[in-house]
Amino acid sequence: LTNKSLDDQRTEQEIPGVKLANPAVLPAPQKADANRGDYPELSPQKQPNPPHVRRGPSNLQIKAPRRDTRLKTRHSTVRAVEEPVQTDNEEKTEKSIISWRGAVIEPDQNTEPPSSKIKEPEKPSSVEAEDQKEPVPINERQLAVIEAFRHAWRGYKDFAWGHDELKPLSKSYSEWFGLGLTLIDALDTMWILGLKEEFEEARKWVANDLVFDKNVDVNLFESTIRILGGLLSTYHLSGDSLFLEKAKDIGNRLMPAFKTPSKIPYSDVNIGRGTAHPPRWTSDSTVAEVTSIQLEFRELSRLTGDEKFQKAVDEVMKHIHTLSGKNDGLVPMFINTNSGQFTHLGVYTLGARADSYYEYLLKQWIQGGKKENELLEDYMRAIEGVKKHLLQRSAPRKLTFVGELAHGHFSAKMDHLVCFLPGTLALGAHNGLDADHMKLAEALIETCYQMYAQVETGLSPEIVHFNLHAQKGQKDVEIKPADRHNLLRPETVESLFYMYRFTGDKKYQDWGWEILQNFNKYTRVPTGGYTSINNVQNPSNPEPRDKMESFFLGETLKYMFLLFSDDIDLINLDKYIFNTEAHPLPIWVPA
């Protein structure tokens, strides 16, 4: 389906919010010092004297929303589940899940490109007037998100403290890397939600217990987006140099991954031994993984003045820019670490293994001040490739969706992961790209919402197949038994946040509210925490899996809170860019 036919079938309308972004006004943060910054107070009743420490980058610090510390859970807005979520009598064998998120325009003249010689960070300038204005009051829906976060955090604190992930039903935990993933992923969420006590407690754990010098293999991509990204973001928001020191430590320990014949990094690194290797079964890396670590490593170079981090990840992007094997800007899912060539050619998806490649093309271009034209070219070409090869319409409701292409054959399969795309398209349009990107975003977010609304629990499965031909009594969305799980994923809520922020259309908030209520109804565990479920089609027994992914706190609830806010300065999108784990990093400006 070409974009023209899409346009023909929609009434022409002016797209709100499509304009060049305002110039970013973030100064470069200062280098770490021994003092840590303070954090916002939660309760307006009693403002304590500020601690006598030197603050970090002051105008990066988000003022806490004012509200009462004792949140009342009797709000009619919060639908908690009375009965405990039951596990199935029989143990179900869980299939292994890959944990994932996995037009030429003039650049802004007030920004400068990243140079090969990275400048020393400068001291922050004084706080701008706009950063000093009174915060917008918290509303009922945001209070419900805070209550949900606290409920999830209670489970983590009681049963999984310091471990990677909570198992809320068995009141235990699981380890992936053994690095407190959930805690680190949730740090900046707590800051944004204004949860002072919880933040301070987690900070103590980071200061006293987070040790990277251990003999453990970590996935380069996952540890970059969750741990490095989470630490950098928390440093920027809090000004507390502890988090930058930890970010430098993990950043250095991940560097051995880039010691490959092709400079395309290995997937796994032993952060204690300083060795890296591909997965046991292949010498390939996943394209999305090697191209979705750039925002974080580039920012680490900017903060430390050490160019090695940026150099390593920029080299990957430059190499992939020149590679053959693309299809109108669409990339295959795998790349060989020895040859540096794409492998498994002919298969193109915006789902797992390729998704965030496209997201990070746009976001790096924005992060660097819209100067790196190769990134923009690759992004624009890819979106044209999506329109040409992957867009189709379902029956009966004519929902626009993004399918997959395998050796010339179109498949009407769409991962929930693809629901990052409407938000990314909207962000591009906001930054001056084609207005038709916004129209496509509006069509796709409707589809992503229907992936929830057409399902019995009101929660989306991991993968859907769309019907292309109308048949009596048939919905647009079909779900195969192997695909009907829900992992508490953030992508649709993420895109709803961007769409509301750029259009002001309240329906996006209402859709997000429905999703939050359904999470509360079908995934909330009374003793604390939320759980992934195996069957979104069975409201009477959604078959809980006994696992709360770290991204539920790091991404899903954060985007919910921001979606329900009417304060555009709560993470202003002209000043911050979110990494693919919802950790906001500053858009660069000249020193």
Q: What is the pLDDT of residues 47-98, one digit of tens each?
A: 333 333 333 333 344 444 444 433 333 333 333 333 444 444 433 333 333 3
pLDDT higher than threshold 50 for residue 463: yes
Looking at the chain, the whole-number percentage of residues with pLDDT higher than 70 is 77
Question: Which residues are part of the catalytic machinery?
Answer: 222, 355, 462, 491
Give the domains, in start order, of the chain with CATH numbers: 146-167+285-584 (1.50.10.10)
**Number of neighbours of residue 63 by Cβ within 10 angstroms:** 16
d(CA 534, CA 20): 43
Distance CA 519, CA 151 (A): 12
Query: How far is 376 from 241, CA to CA, in rounded Å?
Result: 33
Give 313-379 as a DSSP string. Answer: HHHHHHHHHH-S--BTTB--SEEETTT--EESTTEE-SSTTTHHHHHHHHHHHHHTTS--HHHHHHH
**Which residues in 297-307 are b (16+ Cβ under 10 Å) and which e?**
bbbbbbbbeeb
Q: Is the pLDDT of residue 435 over 50?
A: yes
Q: Which one-letter DSSP state was computed for residue 182?
A: H
The answer to whether residue 591 scores a pLDDT higher than 60 is no
pLDDT for 133 equals 62
Handedness of CA 370, 372, 378, 381 (dihedral sign): positive
**More confident site: 448 or 50:** 448
Pairing of strands 400-402, 391-393: antiparallel
- Asked which of 100-114, 215-229, 352-366, 457-471 is least confident by mean pLDDT, the reply is 100-114
Edge-to-edge strand order for the sheet containing 463-466? 413-415, 463-466, 477-478
- Please check the confidence at residue 564 and state whether its pLDDT lies above 70: yes
104, 110, 116, 119 alpha-carbon torsion, rounded to 10°: -160
- Residue partners of 471: CB distance under 8 A and separation at least 6: 395
Q: What is the CA radius of gyration of the chain?
A: 23
Asked if residue 10 has pLDDT above 80, the reply is no
Left, alpha or beta for 134 (phi > 0: left; psi -120 to 50: alpha)?
A: beta
What's the whole-number mean pLDDT along residues 514-533? 98
Higher pLDDT: 63 or 468? It is 468
- Which of 448, 420, 265, 281 lies closest to 349, judged by CA? 420
The C-alpha atoms of residue 325 and residue 50 are separated, in whole angstroms, by 57
Question: Nearest-CA neighbor of 301 among 313, 292, 316, 289?
Answer: 313
Maximum CA pair distance of the chain?
A: 70
How many whole angstroms separate alpha carbon 545 and alpha carbon 552?
14
Rounded average pLDDT over 422-438: 98
Q: Identify the residue with better confidence: 484 or 114.
A: 484
Q: What is the pLDDT of residues 475-499, one digit of tens each?
A: 999 999 999 999 999 999 999 999 9
Per-residue pLDDT reduced to its tens digit, 319-329: 999 999 999 99
DSSP-derived 3-state class of residue 504? coil
Taking the CA of residue 189 as centre, how many other CA atoms within 13 Å lie in the half-sphere pointing to its CB?
28
Q: How confident is the model at residue 471 (pLDDT cuts 50, 70, 90)?
A: confident
**CA atoms of 413 and 537, how far apart (whole Å):** 18
Sign of CA dihedral 396, 399, 403, 408: positive
**From 89-98, 157-166, 377-386, the region with the lowest mean pLDDT:** 89-98
Q: Write the burial class of residue 61 (CB in 10 Å: 0-12 exposed, 13-18 middle, 19+ buried).
A: buried
Partners of 80 in the β-ladder: none
With CA atoms as reference, report the closest residue to 565 among 200, 37, 62: 62
Distance separating alpha carbons of residues 343 and 346, to the nearest angstrom: 9
> Which segment of 101-115, 237-251, 321-335, 382-396 scores lowest on mean pLDDT?
101-115
The answer to whether 86 touches 541, Cβ cutoff 8 Å, is yes
Residue 118 predicted with pLDDT over 60: no
CB-based contacts of 233: which residues, under 8 Å, 6+ apart?
187, 188, 579, 583, 584, 585
User: Distance (Å, rounded) from C-alpha 199 to C-alpha 183?
Assistant: 9
Beta-carbon-side half-sphere exposure of residue 466 (alpha carbons within 13 Å)? 27
Average pLDDT, the chain: 84
φ and ψ at 503, to 5 degrees? -115, -25
Strand partners, 167: 172
Q: 226-268 pLDDT, tens per residue?
A: 999 999 999 999 999 999 999 999 999 999 999 999 999 999 9
Q: Which residues are annotated as a binding site for Ca(2+)?
A: 580
Backbone angles phi, psi at 452, to 5 degrees: -90, -50
The three-class DSSP label of residue 442 is helix
The pLDDT value given to residue 472: 87
At 557, list the tokens.
Answer: 């609830």
Least confident of 35-49, 273-287, 379-393: 35-49
Its sign, for the CA torsion 431, 434, 436, 440, is negative
- The token pair at 472 is 């009596």
208-219 residue pLDDT tens: 999 999 999 999
